[in-house]
A and B are shown apart, each in its own frame.
Chain A
Amino acid sequence: MSLTYLGEWAMRFDFAVAALGTLIGAVGLWKKNLACLEFQRRSLMLSSTLVFAATGILVYAFFVNDFSIRYVASYSSINLPAGYRLAALWAGQEGSQLFWLFVLAVYSSAYMAVHRIERGDIHFHATGFVLLAVQLFFLIIVNVASDPYTRLDSPPPDGNGLNPLLQHPAMAIHPPMLYTGFVGMTVPFACAMGALITGRLDAAWIKKCRVWTIFSWTILAIGIMLGGRWAYDELGWGGYWAWDPVENASFIPWLTATAFLHSVMIQERRGMLKIWNMSLISLTFLLTIFGTYMTRSGVVASVHSFARQPLLGGIFLAFIGLTAVFAFGLIVWRYPALKAEHRIESFLSREAVFLFNNVVLLGLAFAVLFGTMFPTFFEMVKGTRISVGPQFFNQVTIPLFLALLILTGIGPTIAWRKSSPGQLLKNFLAPLLGAALAVGLLWAGGVNQPKALAGIGSVVFVLGCLLLEFIRDTRARQRSTKESFLPALVRLMGKNRRRYGGYIIHAGVAVTALGIIASSSYQVHREAELGPGQEMRIERFRLIMRGLTEGRLPNATWVRATVDVFDAEKNIGRIFAEKRLYEKTEQPHTETGLISRVFYDFYVVLAGWTAEGAAILHVYVNPLVSWVWLGGAVLAAGAVLCLWPGKS
């Protein structure tokens, strides 16, 4: 008997464990019975362990080429390099659902371990109950509608192989990061629901919830950024974001989680927006499930999505509906305890700016969701299908992103409760003048696209606001402690990590925005057919084609163009642009050639070749594109500072 049967049985048995645990947990919460709640906690731990076993054994099946399992036969092959066998776990529908469950089980275990000293607290158990209920839902999915352990009557001698697009190192990191961020939103949702179930609506749940949200939000942001990097390196069109439904599905909950992270600060500081925050975190969780539904049910067409599965879609929709009724029902039930303690005193206050920031973020989330679903709505109403591509999303979201960018600068520098016109002038005059100067200089230098000017002006404004805030606060500390500037700055940030970590995150967003604006507005693209020794020019660069070579990988053949690049007369490097043909899938696949510099990327794609040995090249010069990922790194650094544990 194969070891892989153990994985299958673990998955089946886990369904019973989670169902029983959820039922007993519900009784425990209803009767406030600690024995029942302890049973539920142990069920959650056992359920998670069984999920680890089921997932681990499926990975093992990939490594031992057990093609009796249909999923392994569909997404692996004997010649698939070992490093990519792990990536095959999330390459298809069934495995990706199991992987969702696996990440959730990791979170459930982590939550139980991190908060273990709260075992006597009913909120801890109520949170565990929600986590177990969500786990049960995904166990229903993998056992009933999307079974990764389905067996084949006659196993093939070899599998179909892995999609070549997934055979990239980033694919081993990007999907797990995305899942970790996406699934992580379950924990803050469970915390919030736990608070509503138990009526423990004090500041404790917010503190807990905020930390888990920042963690998941950061991981999701890094996952989205890595996805962009993978698309940039692998898809060969010179860009990194194509508004594909799966990209959108990960971005929408990130937007609502961002809104939550801002509005929850108002609740902490002023005791306001309690209902709003509960609704936002519920919405964020629902959007993660809806995003999974969108891409797993086949309701929208996407390069990443899987085949249409009505049963799976139906189960997802039922769960979304039930969860929405459960969450918003609890909010209505606890309405008297969720009333605000204070009111907004002025529109010139941080509370008001955060509220407008929430409106814009939710507007963006709505615009992206509506655009993604619009082909489905259109088909339902008009009977014909249309497409909604990057052109539409750029058109509708750019003004909202600009408004959001400006609020990113205003938010941290405006006072709580009320600001006077004098304070506003003091805070914003210099950044505004800086932005105006930057726009003037760019205009004089030939940058004349209104959107680019507005965007770069906004970035300078944001960075100016943040820089001034750092300088002002450090000087204030210097006055009281007599420290020199740098130690004062470091200690200031150490004393209030959350605040200054947040500012660094805002700076990261501004840097990323600068990269996006510059690279999307001023990308230069040329195509040419070059034989060995022939050259072409693009901007100030000169390319000399050296020749085409052929070679083999264990599971693919490749053709490679070798190109030397010169900036004026200085050789800045040699580029290898490849086209690969994978044997199993017979799909051509691009490996772009890249020279990355601080101010530009030189990006070459081998689009094809002629019988005479000439290469058909697509050449791009992408200004400031590496700043997109630099901003991501700054954002991650800010988040680490926020999450760094204090002495207390």
Chain B
Amino acid sequence: MAKYLLLKHYRGAPAAVNDVPMDHWTPQEVTAHIQYMGDFAARLEANGEFVDGQALAPDGLWVRYDGEGRPPVTDGPFAETKDLIAGWMIIDVESEARAVELAGELSAAPGAGGKPIHEWLEVRPFLAAPPTITE
């Protein structure tokens, strides 16, 4: 088994096919989208493949160390930040092919007009624990 992160972006991903912002959908379309996401997670849990799913607020801060005895420097949020993560799902699956299959299903979540968004999702493997037998 291997764990994968399915990463959803507010910004930074290539444009989706059905690229209409969520606040321009009908309320029913928003509800249908949320329902789809919830059903997807529930199905993964029933499959024994679900690990975690979280959404992130679009606004955040940049923080860095500013030297001994000084408070950290904060800045932002930067409206021009190219890559903005919206949330993720972590899955534990048999193979990369299965991770791709599930990401494809997640990308089919309905958007404007009730049609699939065809959104680009980033699929990233976790670095696993080292095996014992390597020679």
Asked if A and B bind, the verdict is no
B: residues with CB less than 8 A from A are none
